[in-house]
Chains A and B, each alone.
Chain A
Amino acid sequence: MPDATTLYLILPEITLAVFGMVILAVDLIWRERSRAALAWLTVLGFVIALATALLGWGWNMALFAQMYVVDTFAIFFKLLAAIAGILVTLVSLDYLRDRTPYRGEFLALFTFAVLAMMMMASSASLLMIYLSIEFLSYMSYLLTGFLREDKKSNEAAIKYFLYGAITSALMLYGLSLLYGISGSLNFADITATFAARNDVPTRIVALVSTALVIAGLGFKISLVPFHQWAPDTYEGAPTPVTAFLSVGPKAVGFAVLLRVLLTALPAFKNEWIALLTVISVLTMTLGNLVALRQKNVKRLLAYSSIAQAGYILIGLVSVNLNGASPFSGLNGVLIYLFAYLFTNLGAFTCVIAIENATGAVEIDDYKGLVKRAPFIAALFVIFFLSLAGIPPTAGFIGKFFVFGAALREGFLVLAAIGVINSVISVFYYFSVVRAAFFEAGKDTAPIRLAPPITFSLVVSAALVLVMAVYPEPFFNLAAWSMGMFGVAK
């Protein structure tokens, strides 16, 4: 039975909740003076959350009537959330200064969004999952529409909200079916119910609810066919928010999906594997093919991130936790997500740096970039190589383990479709490189980089390269994080 002494296990959540409120209060009291300091306060909050998350490492404990778990798997995603928080805050400093006076609110909402991510990662009951997803969704809607004067930002938020409302209703329906059939919100009870009852009606209801849950989470992860919101939302949202949406909700979406499928619905593994395999192929292929035709870098990265979700899904459908194989599928997902976090945030940071200086987000505006900002142009190459899975970059390591899992399970065709897609993706990633390096631009004024942006670019790029040259620690991190699934078995 948890008592006050176990509260330290949710210190990261407490920290972020406190910091979010403090930011609001400070913003209210200080107004003018506080603006530069607020962002650093936010970063401090994330750093403390990151450190306290590590305190719980090695624990495997359920809190609050089994609704909330603190295990290595959850902590892995909390680390991811905190890192994303730090990097996104750093890159949003200059961006917000020119665009909105309400930076305090923005930072508070953002802190709450990261808090919601952490709660999603720890959710272990149907109710908690729904609540935390809704929490994250509402924060995301608000952040997306934060530029009130900007029509595109408003449109993006409305679209995001409408799609989100429908899919969350679908998911809620699915969750209520699960509750109805098992009489419990708890994953262990649900698993026990399906182990005991195997009649046809039960199976049908279970399959329907599985599909509905996948639909709801597929929206967060932007899986085809629940992806339509993504391009418009990514294009219209403030670019730091886009960067956040492309990694944060996606990552924890996978966390919840993994937890639900593996701990609540293992009885229907064959069925959800079949369903997700189809979705994976559609997601990769559609994302990549449509990305080929994009002219706007934010939209291009939106479709790219849809395709990336398809690759990650390969790892999920190839999950096989038997034996000590390094290609368990699950570790592929975790390693891939970690690599993707730094790569995609890095790519978006490049976009933001250019947008801050010139306001431009079209590929054509990137012509001659190498003359204006050689550092950014070079980093673009690294991040795009990583997104395409070409060594020596982190993305290669991620794809290596994901495709390896597919091969281990004998999903040859799926692996082949995956690698063909990654070849296709090179073409559009390099369309940006091509504009930046090979074509002459009209504007030749050098682009200056703000120190926080430089810092986050260097961190992202360094990690992308380090993960490729020395992947062992990341591999071990993933292995530890999934230890709880071994325990649960």
Chain B
Amino acid sequence: MVPWLSLLVALPLIGAVIVLLIPKSAQADSQIKWFAIIWSLVPLAVASFLWFGLYNPAVSKMQFEETAMWISAINVRYHLGVDGLSMPLVWLTTLLTVLSLYYSSFTIHERIREFFFMFLLLEVGMLGVFVSLDFFLFYVFWELGLVPMYFLIAIWGHKEDRPLYSSIKFFLYTLAGSVFMLLAIIAMYINTSSATTLGTFDFIELAAKKPFANDWTFQTLAFWAIFIAFAIKVPLFPFHTWLPDAHTAAPTAGSVILAGILLKLGTYGIVRVLVPIFPQAFQANATIIGILAAISIVYGALAAMAQTDFKRLIAYSSVNHMGYVILGIAAAVAVGAAKVDDRAIALNGAILQMFNHGVITGALFFIVGMLYERAHTRALAEFGGLGAKIPVYGAILLTATFASLGLPGLAGFISEFMVFRGAFATMSVLSTISVLGIVFGAAMLLWKVIQKVLLGAFDDAKWKEKESHGIHLNDLVRFEAITVAPLIFLMVLIGVYPSVILNTINTLSTAILSAIKF
């Protein structure tokens, strides 16, 4: 038995240490870059091999499980495993890390060693969260990811976008949520323990034991303590205010990981922890959560529409898109006369939407970053007519935008359609309101992104003038095309043939829902 998941988490950590050890020399920077990129391909290869080679999508149980006692006094176990929920996200993490490192090797020019060290450490944290099945371990990895992201934003952030303010804001927001989650974790342990037996931190055992089953007050308290920690990460209205700041300030690769993976940690946690462990509390509060999701969807789209900064616009569109995920989850567990099929469709849609949002918004942040590298501005008003001027860039932006607004044939459509298709059964009113978000979202992307950036007249004189300042609007170069190509490919693939991933997800959704009494 190969401890695949330990290997997967350990690889980036080893890589990070090696990055620190590469001796100082004139070539050190390029050695570090190439080492980090090539090294990061290994986790991707392992994850690909696991998902497409060894993983059995027909089984709903945890796969590649590893268990060992870690702290026997409090029954903390080193328990790893993946299922249909985490496998795609693990794979996406390794993919986006490779792309981010590759892209950064061309665009990051200072403090190379620290950058690649931090990035690999960040990968450890993210992978760790997705594969942990013990709440203590989960929490350790959860916090482990915070610190590198803080440094990435603060050191390599855009100087004019207050990176120091944004990074500490990101850190404190997330931490403020997670410390209450920590209290809930301990409370669950104490509740599941007795005078003679130890309690548990294990997700699977907790789901079986249902802590606070007879104590409604505490169940609700613990539920919300954990939910808010996750909601801040998602981010769900009204906990989203850190997101635009963090995204705007972060370097391109940081934004990609933030949007692509870190936001998913929140929704992942909700499905992994809250749905199986607190189904009753979740059902009782599903309406409130659904309302927050609907507000996020509509408000996120409207707020995005009001932005004048390209990157901030994409950041707010994340609030909108992650809202669909929450809506799907809430609808799947909500009380109501719905068929199990409807619920499963909603949950499948929500989980697929996590993956799709990672792919699409990850790509969009790369695309915005590429434009910023050229134009040194992200103000939407500055652009226009780029579609004709730099057609390859235009085509890629167009594809990603269409995927984002849910054009059939591309990834976003499938998941958003499924969320709404499922959610109408239990939350018809909220779903109806949320559909407005689709309309606003489409309007926002068509008007603000496609019309303002790609269409219209190209201001030749202005850009000529800027050329004297060293600003050249040339089309995509090779490394940029290589960076976004896999993501564009995924958007089309999932758009036309979603079964590649839905098979994996569906087994799990059905299993989760079958464990809940409606």
On A, residues with C-beta under 8 Å from B are 323-327, 381, 385, 390-392, 396, 400, 403-404, 407-408, 412, 415-416, 419-420, 422-423, 426-427, 430, 434, 437-438, 468, 471-472, 475-476, 479
- Cβ contact within 8 Å between A404 and B190: yes
Instruction: Find the A residue at minimum CB distance from B142.
Output: A391
Q: Which of A324, A381, A420 contacts B147 (CB under 8 A)?
A: A381
Which residues of chain B from 125 to 162 have any CB-CB distance to chain A below 8 Å in the complex? 139-140, 143-144, 146-147, 150-151, 154-155
**A385 contacts across to B, CB distance below 8 A:** 147
A407 touches B183 (CB 8 A): yes
A-B CB proximity, top 9 nearest? A419-B179, A391-B140, A404-B186, A326-B74, A475-B73, A423-B176, A391-B143, A438-B154, A407-B187
Please give the distance in Å from B118's CB to the nearest CB on chain A.
11
A416 touches B183 (CB 8 A): yes
- Given A407-B190, A434-B164, A437-B154, the answer on whether A422 and B179 have CB atoms closer than 8 Å is yes
A422 to B74, CA, bound (A): 23
Q: Is B42 an interface residue (CB 8 A)?
A: no
* Residues of B close to A416: CB separation below 8 A: 180, 183
Determine how close the nearest CB of chain B comes to the CB of A333; give it in whole angstroms: 16
Q: Does B338 contact A (CB under 8 A)?
A: no
- The answer to whether B186 and A407 have CB atoms under 8 Å apart is yes
Q: Does B168 contact A (CB under 8 A)?
A: yes
Complex: how many Å from CA A480 to CA B188? 26
Residue pairs across A and B with Cβ atoms less than 8 A apart, 22 shown, are: A323-B195, A326-B74, A326-B198, A327-B186, A390-B146, A392-B140, A396-B140, A403-B183, A404-B186, A407-B186, A415-B183, A419-B179, A419-B183, A422-B179, A426-B172, A427-B172, A430-B150, A438-B163, A471-B71, A472-B71, A472-B72, A472-B73
Indicate if the CB atoms of A475 and B71 lie closer than 8 Å. Answer: yes
Q: Write the nearest CB–CB distance from B222 to chain A, whole angstroms.
A: 11
CB neighbours of A390 from chain B (8 A):
143, 146-147, 175
A426 to B150, CA, bound (A): 12
B151 lies within 8 A of A437 (CB) = yes
Q: How far is the CA of A472 from the CA of B74 in the complex (A)?
A: 9
* Binary interface encoding of chain B residues 174-196 relative to chain A, with 1 for a CB under 8 A from any of its CBs, else 0: 01100110110011011001010
CB of B55 within 8 Å of the partner chain:
no
Give residues of chain B (60-79) contacting chain A, Cβ–Cβ below 8 Å. 71-74
- The reply to whether the CB of B424 lies closer than 8 angstroms to some CB of chain A is no
Give the total of B residues in contact with A, Cβ under 8 Å.
Answer: 33
Contact B164 A438 (CB under 8 A): yes
CA distance A205 to B147 in the complex (A): 52
Contacts of A420 in B (CB 8 A): 176, 179
Closest to B221 in A: A412
- Binding site of A, secondary structure by majority: helix, strand, loop or mixed? helix
Q: Which residue of A lies closest to B177 (CB)?
A: A423
Chain A residues within an 8 Å CB radius of B146: 390
Contact across chains for A438 and B71 when beta carbons are under 8 A apart: no
* Across-interface contacts of A427 in B (CB, < 8 A): 168, 172
> Is the CB–CB distance between A426 and B171 below 8 Å?
yes
The distance in angstroms between the C-alpha atoms of A479 and B171, with both chains bound, is: 34
Q: Give complex CA distance A430, B373 in Å.
A: 30
Q: Complex Cα distance A391/B135, Å?
A: 13
Residues in A with CB closer than 8 Å to B198 are: 326
Q: Which of B204-263 contact A (CB under 8 A)?
A: 221
What is the bound-complex CA distance between A471 and B198, given in angstroms? 17
| CB of A325 to closest CB in B, whole Å | 7
- Residues of B within 8 Å of A419, CB to CB, are 179-180, 182-183
- B175 pairs with A403, CB closer than 8 A: no
CB distance from B219 to the nearest CB of A (A): 14
B residues adjacent to A (C-beta < 8 A): 71-74, 139-140, 143-144, 146-147, 150-151, 154-155, 163-164, 168, 171-172, 175-176, 179-180, 182-183, 186-187, 189-190, 193, 195, 198, 221
A381 to B189, CA, bound (A): 30
B16 smallest CB distance to A (angstroms)? 12
Chain B residue nearest in CB terms to A381: B147
Q: Could you tell me the distance between the alpha carbons of A408 and B189 in the complex, rounded to whole angstroms?
A: 10
Chain B residues whose CB sits within 8 angstroms of the CB of A438 once the complex forms: 154-155, 163-164
Complex-state Cα separation, A390 to B186, whole angstroms: 15
Nearest B residue to A399 by beta-carbon distance?
B182
CA distance A327 to B154 in the complex (A): 38
**Residue of B at shortest CB range from A438?**
B154
CA distance in complex: A384, B144 (Å)? 14
Contact A403 B182, beta carbon cutoff 8 Å: yes
Nearest Cβ in chain A — how far from B80, in angstroms? 16
CB distance from A473 to the nearest CB of B (A): 10
Name which residue of chain B comes closest to A431, CB basis.
Answer: B168
A479 and B176 form a contact (CB under 8 A) = no
The CA of A434 and the CA of B151, in the complex, are separated in Å by 9
- A306 → chain B closest CB, angstroms: 20
A104–B72 CA distance with the chains assembled, in angstroms: 47
CA distance A391 to B179 in the complex (A): 11
**Chain A residues within 8 Å of B71, by CB:** 471-472, 475
A476, B190: Cβ atoms closer than 8 Å: no
Bound Cα distance from A437 to B189, whole angstroms: 38
Judge whether A434 and B154 touch: CB under 8 Å.
Answer: yes
A476 to B74: give the CA distance in the assembly, Å.
11
Q: Are B186 and A403 in contact (CB under 8 A)?
A: yes
Distance A385 CA – B146 CA, assembled complex (angstroms): 11
Whether the pair A391, B187 counts as a contact (CB closer than 8 A) is no
Q: How far is the CA of A381 from the CA of B118 in the complex (A)?
A: 13
Given the interface contacts A419-B183, A423-B175, A475-B71, does A434 sit within 8 Å of B168 by beta carbon?
Answer: yes
- The residue in chain B whose Cβ has the minimal distance to the Cβ of A471 is B71
Known: A327-B190, A423-B179. A437 touches B155 (CB 8 A): yes
Please, which residues of chain B bring their CB within 8 A of the CB of A430?
A: 150, 168, 171
**In the complex, A381 Cα to B148 Cα: how many Å?**
11
What residues on B are CB-neighbors of A472 within 8 Å?
71-73
Closest chain A residue, CB of each to CB of B146: A390
Q: Which of B154, B164, B172 contacts A423, CB < 8 Å?
A: B172
Contact among A400, A468, A471 for B186, CB-based, below 8 A: A400
- Give A416 to B225 CA distance when docked, in angstroms: 11
**Chain B nearest CB, measured from A377 CB (Å):** 10
B144 pairs with A391, CB closer than 8 A? yes
Alpha-carbon gap, A471 to B78, bound state (A): 13
Instruction: Report the separation of the CA atoms of residues A471 and B137 in the bound assembly, to the nearest whole angstrom.
Output: 13
How many Å lie between the Cα of A14 and that of B139 in the bound state? 46
Q: How far is the CB of B110 from chain A (nearest CB, A)?
A: 11
Which chain A residues lie closer than 8 Å to B180 at the CB level? 416, 419
- A87 vs B171: C-alpha distance in the bound complex, in angstroms? 32
By a CB distance below 8 angstroms, the chain A residues around B154 are 434, 437-438
A430 to B221, CA, bound (A): 30
- Give Cα A437 to B193, complex, Å: 44
Chain B residues near A324: list those with CB within 8 A.
195
Whether B147 and A408, one on each chain, are in contact in the complex, defined by CB atoms closer than 8 angstroms, is no
Please report the C-alpha to C-alpha distance between residue A438 and residue B139 in the assembled complex, in whole angstroms.
Answer: 27
Cα A472 to Cα B71 with chains together (Å): 6
Please report the C-alpha to C-alpha distance between residue A471 and residue B151 in the assembled complex, in whole angstroms: 27
A415 CA to B183 CA, complexed, in Å: 8
Question: Which residues of the other chain, A, contact B143 by a CB distance below 8 angstroms?
Answer: 390-392, 396
Point out the residues of chain B lying under 8 angstroms from A325, CB to CB.
Answer: 190, 193
A415 to B186, CA, bound (A): 11
- Given known contacts A326-B73, A430-B171, A392 and B179 CB-to-CB distance under 8 angstroms: no
Inter-chain contacts of B151 with A (CB < 8 A) = 437
A327-B190, A437-B155, A472-B71 known, 5 other contacts, Cβ within 8 Å: A385-B147, A396-B143, A403-B183, A419-B179, A434-B168
For B190, the chain A residues whose CB sits under 8 A away are 325, 327, 404, 407-408
**Bound-complex Cα distance A423 to B147 (A):** 14
Residue among A390, A403, A479 having the largest count of chain B Cβ atoms under 10 Å: A390
**Residues of chain B within 8 A of A404, CB atoms compared:** 186, 189-190
Residue on B nearest A422 in the bound complex, by CB: B179
A481 to chain B, nearest CB (A): 14
B216 → A minimal CB distance (Å) = 15
Q: What's the Cα separation between A324 and B198 when bound, in Å?
A: 9
Q: Nearest CB to that of B74 among chain A residues?
A: A326
Of chain B, the residue at the smallest CB distance from A409 is B190
